[in-house]
Amino acid sequence: MSAVELTLVKSYLQIAHTAQDEALQALIDAAEEWLAKWLGTPLEATEYTEDLDGGEYTLRTRWQPIIDVAEILDRLDEDAEMDFTLGAGGAIQRADTAGSLLNSRWPEGAGRYRVSYTAGYEDLPAGVQLGVLMLVSRAYHQRTGETGGSAAGVAVNWSALMASDIVATLKAYRRTPVAAV
C-alpha cells in the first residue's frame, strides 16, 4: 500500500485513462522508497524494535517521528517498571507513574533498553505528499536516466530529479538518523 494514492497522482498529472496505471504505481512505489531513505524516516507507520544504551537523560530511537512506544524493557532488570513520556523531538524520557517528567538519567548499560515502537506517519504531511507528487511527475515525464531505482523497467535517477523546489518542499521533514543500521 502506498502512502500516496494512485488516484491523487493521476489527478496531479491530469491523466484520466487507466493505460498507465501499472507504470505509475511502480513510479509511486519507487519514489516513496527512495524518498523515505532520503528523508531518513518511513512514510507510513512502521513497527520497530531497537536495543538502546542507557546513561543519558533520553533514549533516542533511530526512526522518527515516533507515533507510539509500545514497550520499554530493561534487559538487565526485566521486572523493572518502565514509566516514560515522549518528549520534544521524539526523545523518550523517564517519568514517574503519574507521567510527570523525572530529571534523571536512564540507568547505564550498553543496549540495556529494548524499545518497541511505531514510527513514521499515520497521515502523510501535505508537504511530503507534494514532494512525492513532484518526484513522480518528473520521473513520468522524463522516463530516462542512470539507474538509481527502477520503476516498471524504466531506470530512474531519483537524485537528479531532486531539484531545489522539491528539496525546499521537503527539507522541513528531513531527519538525520541517530545511528546507521
CATH number at residue 13: 1.10.3230
Residue 179 predicted with pLDDT over 90: no
User: Considering Cα of 89, then 92, then 96, then 98, what sign does the dihedral take?
Assistant: positive
Of 18-22, 66-70, 108-112, 148-152, minimum mean pLDDT range: 148-152
Instruction: Give the total number of structural domains in the chain.
Output: 2
Q: Which residue range is the domain that position 115 belongs to?
A: 46-119
Residue 50 sits in the same domain as residue 115: yes
Residue 80 sits in the same domain as residue 169: no
Residue 181 lies in a domain: no
Distances (CA, A) of 99 to 86, 151, 171: 10, 47, 33
Residue 50 sits in the same domain as residue 113: yes
Residue 50 sits in the same domain as residue 114: yes
Q: What is the pLDDT of residue 139?
A: 92
Residue 178 lies in a domain: no
Q: Mean pLDDT, to the nearest integer, of 49-60? A: 94
Q: What is the pLDDT of residue 151?
A: 52
Residue 179 lies in a domain: no
Residue 37 lies in a domain: yes
Please give the angle made by the CA atoms of 97, 103 and 108, to the nearest 5 degrees.
90
Average pLDDT, the chain: 87
Of 44-48, 88-92, 122-126, 132-136, minimum mean pLDDT range: 88-92
Q: Mean pLDDT, to the nearest integer, of 99-109? A: 87
Q: Mean pLDDT, to the nearest integer, of 102-111? A: 90
Question: Which cell numbers hold the place of 174?
Answer: 528531513
Residue 78 sits in the same domain as residue 32: no
Give me the phi and psi of 49, to 5 degrees please. -135, 130
Residue 57 sits in the same domain as residue 13: no
Among candidate residues 73, 102, 119, the one where a domain is terminated: 119
Residue 144 predicted with pLDDT over 70: no
Residue 22 predicted with pLDDT over 90: yes
SS3 53: coil
Residue 177 predicted with pLDDT over 80: no
Residue 54 sits in the same domain as residue 86: yes
